[in-house]
Amino acid sequence: MNLFGLFDVSMGPFILILVVIAIPLLVLSIASRRYKRCPSNRILVVYGQVGGERAARAYHGGGAFVWPIIQDYEYLSLEPITIEIELSSALSKKNIRVAVPSTFTIGISTEPDVMNNAAERLLGLNEREIAAQARDIILGQMRLVIAMLTIEEINQDREKFLDLVNKNVNYELSKVGLYMINVNIRDITDESGYIDALGKKAAAEAINQAKIDTAQADREGAIGTSTADREREVKVAEQQAQAAVGRKQAERDQRIMVSSLEAEGVAGEAEAGRDQEIAVATQSARAAEGTKQVEAEKRIKVADLEANAVQGENSSRAEIADSEATLAERRADATRRGDVAMAKANRDVLVAEKEQELARMEKEIIAKEMIERQQVEINAEAEAERLRRIAKGDADAVLAKYLAEAEGIEKVLEAKARGYERLMTACGDRRDLAPSLLIIEKLPELVAEQVKAISNLKIDKITVWDSAGNGSADGSGSTARFMRGLIGSLPPMHELAKQAGIDLPEVLGSAELGSVEDGQAESPAADPTDAEKPRKP
């Protein structure tokens, strides 16, 4: 019992030490598992209860603690995404449709605000879905930029065009957490051939300028060649003279150096032989001493190594047995993991092939149908806008015409009203004179209306047998009676005035019905002088 008591007392501090060491190690292990590091080519997105009003917090580089239960994490890849944009039939500033096929390289931005937008809008999406969203944004902004520029600005001022594309596209992509890394405009063409015409014009101008530059270069080249030949001849003569002087100086210096070196060589050989003999003797003595010391140290080390070898062999045999057992266990575990990994890999291959096939169908069929549908919608909107503008222009023209006519009629009526008012003022108390004056003003029109009564009569031939007044009461001939009857068929002026409630002035004469003879009424006199004399029955 005492032995057990002593054992318990002696083990107490040891267990306490183990507990003190184990708790920090356990805490450190848990913390290391919950601390997530962010690789340089990814963004770490921690979501859940992250504090503040944000739904997630994004990190690029470094790391962050992810607390269990209340938080979780995912990664967003920063690898570039290449998008082919086949933009066609885009309407430019001068209503010329152009095609601008281009290649955009985009990626998720690492700026703090834009990176948070990516965490909120792109988390959980694969590369194909991100590219689809970016393609729609880029297409819209490209059409907007092209609509702001003319063909000349797009084709010639590429720097301005790319600058506008960069600003507009980056501004819109930043709303979903992306940014444009690079853009490559492969070609710019138009349906009407305007760019080709500009290119031919520029090529012709360049050819002409090149011919001019060639002629100038030939002239300057001939001048330069003559100058260079002259300078070359002068330089050659100078160099040949200097070379001759240099050769003589070199030969003299060579003879002096050879003599000096031969003398120094003889003295050096004698001194080197003496030093060699001294060094050989010294090294021989040191070699003998070193050999004896090495042999003694060798025997001591051999004995120690043999003892250590026996002990090491025993320990090695035990470690080999443990290693073989551990190796067998690991081989079995590795085989199992390999089989599981192979099954998962085959499943991932099938899923990838399925996604690839779906992506191919979406690119070749669905994308083509979407492009055709958008083109039909754009054409329909353009045609509707054109018809609306034409209709609005026609309506404005008709409205302006009627407004002008109404304004003219209003001016005429106002002028007539002022004239009538002045006429009534001029008549004074004789208000009945005003209608008579107005009728007199209209007499030419009344006479014209009377003439119209017989203007449409078709008389091919008139034959009159005039009896020179025989048998007539007034002694007039048949021709005169015919003319009186014809004039009498016209509407009488006085009768028209009387129907209007107006009595014509006396200076215009009067017309009354004559006596009825033989069933016919006498017509007014055809003689112009009879208009001044009143006729009675």
pLDDT tens digits, 433-455:
777 777 777 777 777 776 676 66
Tell me: do 57 and 94 sit in the same domain.
no
17 or 408, which is more confident? 408
For residue 323, is it within any domain?
Answer: no
Residue whose pair of structure tokens reads 């005039």 in the numeric block: 466
Mean pLDDT, the chain, integer:
76
For residue 426, is it within any domain?
Answer: no
- pLDDT reading at 108 higher than 60: yes
Q: Which of 94-108, 135-149, 200-214 has the lowest mean pLDDT?
A: 200-214
pLDDT confidence of residue 180:
92
Cα–Cα distance, 70 to 50 (Å, whole number): 9
**How many Å is the Cα radius of gyration of the chain?**
61
Tell me: do 141 and 112 sit in the same domain.
yes
For residue 332, is it within any domain?
Answer: no
Which of 78, 97, 123 terminates a domain? The answer is 78
Q: What are phi and psi of 70, to 5 degrees?
A: -95, -10
pLDDT confidence of residue 373:
83
Residue whose pair of structure tokens reads 């090529």 in the numeric block: 203
Tell me: do 55 and 39 sit in the same domain.
yes
For residue 225, is it within any domain?
Answer: no
Answer yes or no: are the C-beta atoms of 449 and 490 closer than 8 Å.
no
For residue 287, is it within any domain?
Answer: no
Pairing of strands 42-48, 71-77: antiparallel
- pLDDT reading at 155 higher than 60: yes
Asked whether the whole model's pTM tops 0.75, one would answer no
Tell me: do 114 and 155 sit in the same domain.
yes
pLDDT confidence of residue 104:
94
116 Cβ contact list (under 8 Å, min separation 6): 54, 56, 57, 58, 177
Cα–Cα distance, 510 to 198 (Å, whole number): 88
pLDDT confidence of residue 137:
93
Tell me: do 86 and 60 sit in the same domain.
no
Tell me: do 44 and 71 sit in the same domain.
yes
pLDDT confidence tier of residue 229, bands split at 50, 70 and 90? confident
Residue whose pair of structure tokens reads 């318990």 in the numeric block: 8
Q: How far is CA 202 from CA 81, 97, 191, 198, 224, in A?
A: 37, 21, 19, 6, 31
CA neighbours within 13 Å on the CB side: how many for 18?
5
- pLDDT reading at 1 higher than 50: no
- pLDDT reading at 513 higher than 50: no
- Three-class secondary structure of residue 478 per DSSP: helix
pLDDT confidence of residue 464:
59
DSSP 149-174: S-HHHHHH-HHHHHHHHHHHHHHHHG
Q: How far is CA 120 from CA 17, 21, 292, in A?
A: 49, 43, 82
pLDDT confidence of residue 515:
38
pLDDT confidence of residue 454:
64
Which of 36, 55, 78 terminates a domain? The answer is 78
Q: Which of 337-341, 352-356, 381-385, 516-520 has the lowest mean pLDDT?
A: 516-520
Q: What's the domain range around 503?
A: 464-532
Which of 157, 172, 192 terminates a domain? The answer is 192
359 Cβ contact list (under 8 Å, min separation 6): 128
pLDDT confidence of residue 19:
74
Residue burial 39-74, b: 16+ Cβ < 10 Å; e: rest: eeebbbbbbeebeeeeebbbbbeeebebeeeebebe
pLDDT tens digits, 254-271:
878 877 777 777 777 767
The structure tokens listed for 263 are 């003398």
Average pLDDT over residues 320-337: 78
Q: Which amino acid is at 248?
A: K
- Three-class secondary structure of residue 76 per DSSP: strand
Query: Torsion angle of alpha carbons 367, 368, 372, 378, nearest 10°?
Result: 40
For residue 148, is it within any domain?
Answer: yes
Answer yes or no: are the C-beta atoms of 90 and 143 closer than 8 Å.
yes
For residue 442, is it within any domain?
Answer: no
465 or 78, which is more confident? 78
pLDDT confidence of residue 476:
60
- pLDDT reading at 169 higher than 90: yes
- 120 exposed, middle or buried (CB, 10 Å; 0-12, 13-18, 19+)? middle
Q: Which of 249-263, 473-487, 513-527 has the lowest mean pLDDT?
A: 513-527
Cα–Cα distance, 130 to 355 (Å, whole number): 15
pLDDT confidence tier of residue 475, bands split at 50, 70 and 90? low
Cα–Cα distance, 189 to 512 (Å, whole number): 92
Tell me: do 91 and 188 sit in the same domain.
yes
Q: Which amino acid is at 511?
A: A
Tell me: do 103 and 182 sit in the same domain.
yes
Answer yes or no: are the C-beta atoms of 42 and 76 closer than 8 Å.
yes
Tell me: do 66 and 20 sit in the same domain.
yes
Tell me: do 57 and 84 sit in the same domain.
no
Answer yes or no: are the C-beta atoms of 56 and 47 closer than 8 Å.
yes
Tell me: do 46 and 117 sit in the same domain.
no
82 Cβ contact list (under 8 Å, min separation 6): 103, 104, 105
In this prediction, what percent of the chain has a pLDDT beyond 70? 79
Q: Total structural domains in the chain?
A: 3
DSSP 339-369: HHHHHHHHHHHHHHHHHHHHHHHIIIIIHHH
Average pLDDT over residues 5-27: 67
Tell me: do 154 and 135 sit in the same domain.
yes
Tell me the CATH number at 177.
Answer: 3.30.479.30
